[in-house]
Chain A
């Protein structure tokens, strides 16, 4: 494989496991650094919410035993790591007999779908806007309009989402308010269900796309400016190639590759923003589940979802990092 040395792959995969281990470890120790333990913390919260909880002392002892909180720390830690690696997150504290793994499994397709579609759309829209901003033949009207579209970038996803709900749901009545599909439909591969999913997903996706495309546009503009001075462009123009050909086949093609690295840096932010967007739209994904977990002080759910979110992000970044040298023959990881 050109540009992809074995040493780099090993180092990169090592980083992947290190990141997962480090974040899992942080999540293990944070609750134990806090005064008290997760169980009595939960009972305290329940007490403050519900007035008082029947037999809270007995509850604490029972839970402590169930979670093995009286075992030595190292034993707890190793058991925890094994649980995380086998996707066994234990039971939900709030909805007891349900396993966290099952809850996350149900929510995951929604989040992954929303993330995938909106990230691809964002990448395409942002890159195109960035390219047009730097292109010298862009019509004057567009030149004024494009930077305005970037101001959305400064606004957090979910704040923009609120404005979108106001405009498209309250004022225009175009889209449903919340949820992932109409309640009276059964999930399946039929037209009505898919149509409903698209209708419910449009606004959440739109708030992610509008709010994050500027990030790509700015990066693309920077790269286009760098490419603009290259001799091969002068040659291409001198050859009499059509301006659009020069733009897409020479300028954009050379400027777009570093954008892939921007994807790596931006992904964590997009995942975090999606959590809030799902909460706002009541989308049945992991973000909404996470919010439920927080309001119920359901620590096993919080832990499970956060671990999956981190795992997903880190895996996506690993894939991009490994594909990147194959896409761009100019990049080699020979050194180091």
Chain B
């Protein structure tokens, strides 16, 4: 019994503060913001042209390892690029992909999800079939086919291609929510008072969808980054700009792991991990904000 009282007290205390101050949510946001702020500061302070090949000495270790210099604090790789410059250029690119994919797929998700959930009928059947189809297909496979044919790949093009296949998840989530919300009292009331449909959709229902929208934004952003890093690793990403995935992939091809050049694959991996874990924490945090039952369970 003691355990039960304790959890009740704990959840009672949490209710006093805003659920948006969820520790996981805050921690995740801080991690993502940290990557963004540090790389933006880096863009101002560090010489980014060092990210070009043959701009620096080859295979230098980081400065704290014997042989490293402060001129290249995180070391350099086999074609003479400075890793710090690579991270500064690649980090914001990665976040940009997430932002574009997240926004695009969320907008598509809102339009299709509302259309399916609110209008119902044949529209719903078509949209549901399409999104179920899109969900079961391994999207990376289709992405590979598309990217293999696009000759001039840049970050925006890649993000839009990824977003084309990332809308199904948000659409399903939003459709399900709209479907259950449509029958609730305040929406029925609004319909009875003959408010225009767009007004009901965007002024009455949308605010209640915000946590779900945020969650699906984070979900597609992190899924988009995942797909983009995969494409970059396979050599299908942008070729002119050094991305994090491309750096890791080149490190593997240069067998950096077995040559003991851990900084070559390690530093971009750490940045990617911080981004992914950050987004993951945000997602879990949002889940707990939306679904109060999960807050009671520690973990």
Binding stretch for chain B, among A14-22, A88-96, A116-124 = A14-22
**In the assembled complex, which residues on chain A have CB atoms less than 8 Å from the CB atom of B277?**
151, 154-155
Q: Beyond A226-B293, A314-B136, A314-B137, is A158–B233 a contact (Cβ under 8 Å)?
A: yes
Contact B133 A143 (CB under 8 A): no
* Shortest Cβ gap from A223 to chain B (Å): 11
Q: What's the Cα separation between A134 and B297 when bound, in Å?
A: 7
Q: Beyond A166-B257, A294-B234, is A15–B133 a contact (Cβ under 8 Å)?
A: yes
Q: Among the listed A156, A265, A297, A299, which residue makes an inter-chain contact with B272, where contact means beta carbons less than 8 Å apart?
A: A156
Q: Does A268 contact B (CB under 8 A)?
A: yes
Q: Does A26 contact B (CB under 8 A)?
A: yes
Contact A294 B148 (CB under 8 A): yes
Total interface residues on B, using CB and 8 Å? 52
A residues 34-64 near B (Cβ < 8 Å) are: 34, 38, 41, 44
Name B255's closest neighbour in chain A (CB-CB).
Answer: A177
**In the assembled complex, which residues on chain A have CB atoms less than 8 Å from the CB atom of B137?**
19, 23, 268, 310, 313-314
Name A137's closest neighbour in chain B (CB-CB).
Answer: B3
Binding stretch for chain B, among A69-77, A183-191, A248-256, A275-283 = A275-283
**In the assembled complex, which residues on chain A have CB atoms less than 8 Å from the CB atom of B279?**
154
B residues 184-224 near A (Cβ < 8 Å) are: 222
Q: Does B265 contact A (CB under 8 A)?
A: yes
Contact B273 A276 (CB under 8 A): no
Q: Does A3 contact B (CB under 8 A)?
A: no
* Shortest Cβ gap from B176 to chain A (Å): 13
Name B150's closest neighbour in chain A (CB-CB).
Answer: A34
A interface: dominant SS: helix
Q: Does B122 contact A (CB under 8 A)?
A: no
Q: Does B167 contact A (CB under 8 A)?
A: no
What does the 1/0 interface line of B258-299 toward A look like (CB < 8 Å)?
101010011001001100110111001000000101101111
Q: Among the listed A15, A169, A290, which residue makes an inter-chain contact with B257, where contact means beta carbons less than 8 Å apart?
A: A169
Q: What's the Cα separation between A157 and B230 when bound, in Å?
A: 10
Binding stretch for chain A, among B44-52, B70-78, B82-90, B139-147 = B139-147
Contact B229 A156 (CB under 8 A): yes
**In the assembled complex, which residues on chain B have CB atoms less than 8 Å from the CB atom of A136?**
3
**In the assembled complex, which residues on chain B have CB atoms less than 8 Å from the CB atom of A221?**
294, 297, 299
Q: What's the Cα separation between A146 and B277 when bound, in Å?
A: 16
Contact A310 B138 (CB under 8 A): yes
Q: Does A271 contact B (CB under 8 A)?
A: yes
Q: What's the Cα separation between A313 and B149 when bound, in Å?
A: 23
Number of A-B contacts (CB under 8 A): 154
Q: Does A322 contact B (CB under 8 A)?
A: no
Q: Does A247 contact B (CB under 8 A)?
A: no
Q: What's the Cα separation between A53 and B25 when bound, in Å?
A: 55
Contact B145 A163 (CB under 8 A): no
Total interface residues on A, using CB and 8 Å? 64
**In the assembled complex, which residues on chain A have CB atoms less than 8 Å from the CB atom of B260?**
170
Q: Does B235 contact A (CB under 8 A)?
A: yes
Q: Does B236 contact A (CB under 8 A)?
A: yes
**In the assembled complex, which residues on chain A have CB atoms less than 8 Å from the CB atom of B135?**
265, 268
Q: Beyond A134-B297, A222-B294, A268-B136, is A276–B233 a contact (Cβ under 8 Å)?
A: yes
Contact B257 A159 (CB under 8 A): no
Contact B142 A26 (CB under 8 A): yes
Contact A225 B297 (CB under 8 A): yes
A residues 167-212 near B (Cβ < 8 Å) are: 169-170, 177
Q: Among the listed B129, B235, B280, B299, which residue makes an inter-chain contact with A133, where contact means beta carbons less than 8 Å apart?
A: B299
Binding stretch for chain B, among A78-86, A101-109, A301-309 = A301-309
Q: What's the Cα separation between A299 and B280 when bound, in Å?
A: 35
Q: Beyond A226-B293, A276-B234, is A162–B252 a contact (Cβ under 8 Å)?
A: yes
Q: Does B226 contact A (CB under 8 A)?
A: yes
Q: Beyond A166-B262, A170-B258, A268-B135, is A143–B234 a contact (Cβ under 8 Å)?
A: no
Chain A CB within 10 A, most for which of B151, B296, B299: B299
**In the assembled complex, which residues on chain A have CB atoms less than 8 Å from the CB atom of B234?**
276, 279, 290-291, 294
B residues 148-198 near A (Cβ < 8 Å) are: 148-151
Q: What's the Cα separation between A302 and B149 when bound, in Å?
A: 11
Q: What's the Cα separation between A34 and B161 when bound, in Å?
A: 13
What does the 1/0 interface line of A209-236 toward B look like (CB < 8 Å)?
0000000001001100110000000000
Contact B299 A146 (CB under 8 A): yes
Q: Among the listed B129, B226, B272, B276, which residue makes an inter-chain contact with A15, where contact means beta carbons less than 8 Å apart?
A: B129
Contact A313 B138 (CB under 8 A): yes
* Shortest Cβ gap from B227 to chain A (Å): 8
**In the assembled complex, which residues on chain B have CB atoms less than 8 Å from the CB atom of A18?**
129, 133
What does the 1/0 interface line of A300-336 toward B look like (CB < 8 Å)?
0011001001100110010000000000000000000
* Shortest Cβ gap from B35 to chain A (Å): 14
**In the assembled complex, which residues on chain B have CB atoms less than 8 Å from the CB atom of A155?**
272-273, 276-277
* Shortest Cβ gap from A313 to chain B (Å): 5
Contact B145 A30 (CB under 8 A): yes
Contact A271 B138 (CB under 8 A): yes
* Shortest Cβ gap from B11 to chain A (Å): 13
For the A-B complex with A280-B252, A303-B145 known, give 5 more contacts whose Cβ atoms are closer than 8 Å.
A19-B136, A147-B299, A154-B279, A162-B265, A290-B234
> Would you give 14 A-B contacts (Cβ < 8 Å), ordered by A?
A15-B129, A26-B142, A34-B150, A38-B149, A155-B276, A159-B272, A169-B257, A265-B135, A271-B138, A272-B230, A275-B141, A280-B252, A294-B148, A309-B141
Task: Report B's interface with A, CB cutoff 8 A.
Answer: 3, 129, 132-133, 135-142, 144-146, 148-151, 222, 226-227, 229-230, 233-236, 248, 252, 257-258, 260, 262, 265-266, 269, 272-273, 276-277, 279-281, 284, 291, 293-294, 296-299
